[in-house]
Every structure is written in structure tokens, then in C-alpha cells.
């Protein structure tokens, strides 16, 4: 992760972490390396979890480095979800690093990041 991106996400993490450590691992975030248009960028995030009553993913958050709204999306899961996996499209305001943070049922938090180069930005106010 680039240094600027790291500090942008780092400033937002205390709100999300509730004082606990956010570790790398368990989460896999997939974004294209190059996106022609920031209005519709394919994204997939998955978390290694048995999704049992005792051990499951509760929430996955997508955090943006440059979008006007830093917390782009929040996905809620439970033991009956079957798998902690989401495939969707996101809007990106230019090239940036996106971070996915998963909160587990035991309170632990895990993350992954991916950088995407966007040639045509979205989320831009042209007024």
C-alpha cells in the first residue's frame, strides 16, 4: 500500500477498530489493476470462515482512500449466510487503494487492500 493511502486509511481506522488491532489475512479483496471507467469497477471480497454459529463473519466494510464517502459499503453476514463473499461493482473517484475490513463473531478484525488505477474518475462534482 502506498504511504499516502496507508495514512488516509489509518486516520479512519480508529472509528472502525474500536481499539482492537486490525490484522492482515483471512480477507481477499479483488479489484482490477486498471479500470477504464470509475463509474463501474468490478470488485470481489471474500473471507475465510467456517460460517458456523461460533465462528462467522459479522460485517465486511469497504473503505475508500479518495471517494467523498470513505465507507463505501457495509455488508452484514450471519452463520446462515453460507459464505462470506460479495461480488459487486463500485464507483471510484480516481486511482486509489481500497481496503476491505472484516469483523468476525469473536471481535477480531482482518483486512486486505488493493490498488486500482482509474483512467476516468467517478464521484466528481463538476459544478
- Give 91: exposed, middle or buried? Use CB within 10 Å, 0-12, 13-18, 19+: middle
Render pLDDT for 34-92 as a digit per residue (tens, 0 to 9).
999 999 999 999 999 999 999 999 999 999 999 988 999 999 999 999 999 999 999 99
CA atoms of 15 and 17, how far apart (whole Å):
6
β-strand pairing of 85-90 with 96-104? unpaired
CATH superfamily name and code, 3-118: SoxY domain (2.60.40.2470)
Q: Rounded to 10 degrees, what is the CA torsion of 21, 46, 81, 87?
A: 130
Count CB neighbours of 64 within 10 A.
23
Q: What is the pLDDT of residues 21-32, one digit of tens each?
A: 899 999 999 999
What nine digits make up the cell of 69?
Answer: 464517502
Whole-number pLDDT of residue 1: 45
> What's the pTM value of the predicted model, to 2 decimals?
0.82
Amino acid at each position: 500500500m502506498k504511504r499516502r493511502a496507508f495514512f488516509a486509511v489509518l486516520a479512519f481506522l480508529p472509528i472502525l477498530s474500536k481499539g482492537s488491532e486490525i490484522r492482515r489475512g483471512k480477507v481477499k479483496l479483488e479489484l482490477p489493476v486498471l479500470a477504464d471507467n470509475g463509474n463501474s469497477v468490478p470488485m470481489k471480497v471474500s473471507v475465510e470462515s467456517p460460517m458456523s454459529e461460533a465462528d462467522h463473519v459479522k460485517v465486511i466494510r469497504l473503505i475508500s482512500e479518495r471517494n467523498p464517502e470513505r465507507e463505501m459499503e457495509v455488508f452484514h453476514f450471519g452463520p446462515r449466510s453460507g459464505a462470506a463473499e460479495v461480488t459487486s461493482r463500485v464507483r471510484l473517484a480516481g486511482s486509489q487503494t481500497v481496503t476491505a475490513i472484516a469483523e468476525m463473531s469473536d471481535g477480531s478484525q482482518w483486512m486486505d487492500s488493493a490498488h486500482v488505477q482509474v483512467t476516468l474518475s467517478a464521484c466528481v462534482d463538476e459544478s
